[in-house]
């Protein structure tokens, strides 16, 4: 999709005064249309094709939005907002796009009818506040890792893949509530997918690096761990310095000092050495002979993860010149470290430092691996969100319940702002409408059936069974969504809609034109 913004040189009067609004709304609506077909249990996949002919087939909204070609600035705003939500809560990007597209479409329609933009936004704000209050009132807390609602949330987010749901729930249990509550820590980040691997959750880390050579031990139990945020090689001297006697003497002294440092590693009984940069041939030879496993060129992220899990303190190369008793204070430990040659990675298990868990998801091919990894990350994010914020009925039922409550708000609001409230009401009907459309049913009929059933039975968890088309209780079907994901989607969609509705004209900016701090303003400017 390539939707380029128009340059508008006219004033916002007459027939052109809605040009920017229509252009922006159309771009966002087109982008939303690219993902809305993936919504719900019967949603279909999207094929993404790059300029080299590479193909990605997925129904993950975040993946589609992040990779689609959308040159229109308004579409870019939606992509950025969806990416921000994905980084924050890990899911709900498709719902965000659908809601944002619906809010904009409804808002533009009201504005075209003559409702002032300010009044539309005023009503939308009031409707969104009420919607969030309703979602909050519908939220159910889970009782812990054994609560069936937790597994159901994982199962729904995992697109019906039972094995992935089992993995992420077990991983959450292994991580524990203290770590799940930690700010900035995301369960989705511990997901790893490998071709030919078996599904597994274990206490430890996977480092996508192999031992330095095959002569080093493949597995070490109860290993002491040294983490070097540097290279493991002697200090480098310039070639000019080696041409003098003093320079050569200095070179020999450096080599001798370095060998002593490496021998300290051996004498301290260290089993695993992890270096951020390169390892010299001399060090490799000594450590290989001593039966030490060495991993080189580990990423900065892996260096930190290994240090935290094993309880090691990160040391620089110069720190190896310290006495052995001081170096000991920098050492960590783990129950086992071993290299998997088939999967080309190294596992570090049972560290004495911070507990760590890894979700290993197996797949048959690279394409399947990438998709299963995305699904597992979504499910892991859902599990963490549910444990922290609870669940609401899924399948669009919660949005319909909120829409019903907002109908009463319209009468309270009065004036032209009530048209903005209508925008929110119609937008909240959109997720259920799209879900039943994707399932092959009439959206007008089914949405009205749910509204009538919820009102008659006073049950906000009623929605549509996508297999039968009948009105059913979403809790009874096990269809639940994380409350945090739902509220984040509504808030993000509202922010995008308001920001775009406020844009009155699109002007192409002149680039690379610095403005002087005290530049004179031209007459008439």
Half-sphere exposure of 320 (CA within 13 A, CB side): 29
Residue 370 CA from chain centroid, whole number: 14
How far is the CA of 419 from the CAs of 22, 116, 364, 433, in angstroms?
18, 10, 52, 21
The predicted model gives 163-180 an average pLDDT of 92
**pLDDT reported for residue 7:** 39
Q: Where are the domains of the chain?
A: 14-140+392-501, 146-189+364-389, 201-363
Q: Read off the pLDDT band of 2 (50, 70, 90).
A: very low
DSSP string, 402-454: HHHHHHHHHHHH-STHHHHHHHHHHHHHHHHHHHHHHTTS-HHHHHHHHHHHH
Please indicate whether residue 363 or residue 313 has the higher confidence score (pLDDT): 313
- Write the burial class of residue 506 (CB in 10 Å: 0-12 exposed, 13-18 middle, 19+ buried): middle
Q: What percent of the chain has pLDDT over 70?
A: 91
Give 71's contacts (C-beta < 8 A, 6+ positions apart). 2, 3, 4, 5
Give 208's contacts (C-beta < 8 A, 6+ positions apart). 344, 345
**pLDDT reported for residue 82:** 78
CB 286 within 8 A of CB 258: no
* Residue from 177, 170, 173, 158 nearest 478 by CA: 158
Encoded tokens for 473: 């209780």
Task: Please state, in angstroms and rounded to a whole number, the distance separating the CA atoms of residues 216 and 287.
Answer: 8
**pLDDT reported for residue 33:** 82
Residue 16 has pLDDT above 70, yes or no: no
Query: Mean pLDDT, the chain, as a whole number?
Result: 86
Task: Please state, in angstroms and rounded to a whole number, the distance separating the CA atoms of residues 306 and 333.
Answer: 10
The predicted model gives 436-459 an average pLDDT of 94
**pLDDT reported for residue 367:** 74
Is the alpha carbon torsion for 498, 60, 428, 404 positive or negative? Answer: negative
Residue 62 has pLDDT above 90, yes or no: no
Q: Read off the pLDDT band of 10 (50, 70, 90).
A: very low
DSSP string, 300-366: HHHHHHHHHHHTPPPB-GGGGGS-HHHHGGG-EEEEEEEEETTTTEEEEEEESSS--EEEEEEESSH
Give 243's contacts (C-beta < 8 A, 6+ positions apart). none
| Confidence (pTM) | 0.79
**pLDDT reported for residue 209:** 93
Encoded tokens for 234: 């002697």
Residue 383 has pLDDT above 90, yes or no: yes
* Residue from 449, 410, 437 nearest 426 by CA: 410
Q: Read off the pLDDT band of 518 (50, 70, 90).
A: very low
Q: Read off the pLDDT band of 76 (50, 70, 90).
A: confident
> Which of these CATH numbers, 1.10.10.10, 1.10.560.10, 3.40.120.10, 3.40.50.1580, describes 14-140+392-501?
1.10.560.10
Task: Please state, in angstroms and rounded to a whole number, the distance separating the CA atoms of residues 494 and 504.
Answer: 18
pLDDT digits (tens, 9 = 90+) for 324-375: 999 999 999 999 999 998 888 999 999 999 888 899 998 888 778 888 988 9
User: Angle 402-492-29 (CA atoms, 0-180°, nearest 5)?
Assistant: 90
CATH topology of domain 201-363: GroEL (3.50.7)
Residue 8 has pLDDT above 60, yes or no: no
How far is the CA of 487 from the CAs of 132, 233, 463, 513, in angstroms?
6, 53, 19, 41
DSSP string, 161-224: -HHHHHHHHHHHHHH-HHHHHSTT--GGGGEEEEETPPPEEEEEEEES---S-TTS-SEEEEEE
The predicted model gives 201-213 an average pLDDT of 92
Q: How many CB atoms lie within 10 A of CB 443?
A: 18
**pLDDT reported for residue 280:** 92
CB 383 within 8 A of CB 169: yes
Please indicate whether residue 521 or residue 270 has the higher confidence score (pLDDT): 270
Task: Please state, in angstroms and rounded to a whole number, the distance separating the CA atoms of residues 79 and 311.
Answer: 40
Q: What percent of the chain has pLDDT over 90?
A: 58
- CATH number at 146-189+364-389: 3.30.260
Strand bridging mode 200-207 / 219-228: unpaired
User: Angle 208-212-218 (CA atoms, 0-180°, nearest 5)?
Assistant: 80
CB 27 within 8 A of CB 20: no
**pLDDT reported for residue 139:** 96
Task: Please state, in angstroms and rounded to a whole number, the distance separating the CA atoms of residues 399 and 391.
Answer: 13
Please indicate whether residue 197 or residue 270 has the higher confidence score (pLDDT): 270
Residue 13 has pLDDT above 60, yes or no: no
User: Angle 494-495-498 (CA atoms, 0-180°, nearest 5)?
Assistant: 80
């Amino acid at each position: 999709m390539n939707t380029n913004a128009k340059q508008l040189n006219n004033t916002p009067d007459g027939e052109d005064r809605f040009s920017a609004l229509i252009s922006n709304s159309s771009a966002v609506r087109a982008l939303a249309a690219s993902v809305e077909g993936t919504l719900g249990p019967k949603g279909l996949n999207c094929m993404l094709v790059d300029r080299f002919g590479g193909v990605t087939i997925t129904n993950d909204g975040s993946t589609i939005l992040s990779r689609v070609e959308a040159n229109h600035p308004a579409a870019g705003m939606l992509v950025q907002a969806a990416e921000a939500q994905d980084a924050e809560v890990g899911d709900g990007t498709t719902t965000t796009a659908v809601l944002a597209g619906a809010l904009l479409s409804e808002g533009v329609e009201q504005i075209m009818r003559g409702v002032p933009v300010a009044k539309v936004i005023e009503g939308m704000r009031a409707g969104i506040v009420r919607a969030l209050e309703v979602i909050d009132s519908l939220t159910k807390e889970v009782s812990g890792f054994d609560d069936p609602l937790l597994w159901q949330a994982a199962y729904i987010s995992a697109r019906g893949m039972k094995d992935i749901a089992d993995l992420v729930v077990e991983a959450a249990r292994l991580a524990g509530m203290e770590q799940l509550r930690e700010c900035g820590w995301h369960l989705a980040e511990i997901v790893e997918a490998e071709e030919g691997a078996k599904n597994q959750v274990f206490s430890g880390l996977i480092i996508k690096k192999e031992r330095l050579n095959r002569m080093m031990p493949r597995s070490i139990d109860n290993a002491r761990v040294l983490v070097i945020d540097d290279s493991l090689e002697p200090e480098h001297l310039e070639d000019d310095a080696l041409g003098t006697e003093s320079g050569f003497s200095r070179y020999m002294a450096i080599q001798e000092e370095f060998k002593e440092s490496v021998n300290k590693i051996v004498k301290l009984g260290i089993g695993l050495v992890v270096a951020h940069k390169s390892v010299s041939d001399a060090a490799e030879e000594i450590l290989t002979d001593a039966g030490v496993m060495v991993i080189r060129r580990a990423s900065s992220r892996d260096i930190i993860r290994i240090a935290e899990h094993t309880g090691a303190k990160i040391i620089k190369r110069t720190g190896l010149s310290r006495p052995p008793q001081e170096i000991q204070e920098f050492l960590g430990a783990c129950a086992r470290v071993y290299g998997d040659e088939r999967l080309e990675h190294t596992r570090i298990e049972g560290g004495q430092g911070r507990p760590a868990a890894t979700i290993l998801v197996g797949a048959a091919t690279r394409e399947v691996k990438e998709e299963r990894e995305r699904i597992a990350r979504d499910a892991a994010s859902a599990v963490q969100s549910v444990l922290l914020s609870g669940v609401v009925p899924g399948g669009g039922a919660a949005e319909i319940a909120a829409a019903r409550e907002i109908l009463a708000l319209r009468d309270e609001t009065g004036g032209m702002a009530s048209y903005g409230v209508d925008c929110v009401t119609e937008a909240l009907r959109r997720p259920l409408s799209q879900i039943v459309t994707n399932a092959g049913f009439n959206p007008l009929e089914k949405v009205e059936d749910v509204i009538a059933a919820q009102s008659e039975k006073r049950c906000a968890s009623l929605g549509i069974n996508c297999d039968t088309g009948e009105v059913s209780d979403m809790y009874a079907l096990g269809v639940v969504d994380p409350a945090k994901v739902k509220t984040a989607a509504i808030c993000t969609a509202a922010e995008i809609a308001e920001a775009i509705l406020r844009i009155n004209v699109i002007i192409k900016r002149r680039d690379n034109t610095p403005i002087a701090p005290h530049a004179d303003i031209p007459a008439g400017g």
